[in-house]
Amino acid sequence: MARFLGLTEPQQDEVRKLMEGRRADHQALREKVEKNREAMQQALESANPDPGVVGELAIEAHRLRQEERVLREAQDKAIRELLTAEQRVKFDAMKAPREEGMGGPRRGGFGPRPERGPGRQ
């Protein structure tokens, strides 16, 4: 990110401090997400999955995803405040695929997938 945005050394230090300051919150949330994922897996693999339990876990997973989004948006906003106008344009372009639901580095792509037509799989 630093290279792509052309961050100065002071900007890099500020971004680093910002991210380190939020690291505990992100880690705690990741642990909750993982615990929920494991509980969901166990519930679904049981001989007779309880729809009530599975439903509660699904609702919790949704709430945790919303919480992740709020944390990410707050971090992005704080980073944007450290950037120049030119850097903000690049930052926004870098974040656009994630916000548009088109993938991104963590989802295995950077843009829309090609349409599938006859003969294409």
- C-alpha distance from residue 12 to each of 16, 33, 85 (Å): 6, 29, 16
Instruction: List the structure tokens of 105.
Output: 């580095």
pLDDT, residue 99, reads 60
Domain boundaries, the chain: 7-99
pLDDT digits (tens, 9 = 90+) for 75-101: 999 999 999 999 999 999 988 876 655
**Regarding the domain delimited by 7-99, which CATH topology (the fold level of the hierarchy) does it fall under?**
Four Helix Bundle (Hemerythrin (Met), subunit A) (1.20.120)
Amino acid code (one letter) for 76: D
- CB of 43 closer than 8 Å to CB of 57: yes
Entry pTM = 0.69
Q: What does the DSSP assignment read for 41-74?
A: HHHHHSSS--HHHHHHHHHHHHHHHHHHHHHHHH
pLDDT, residue 96, reads 80
SS3 content of the chain, % helix, strand, coil (to 5): 70, 0, 25
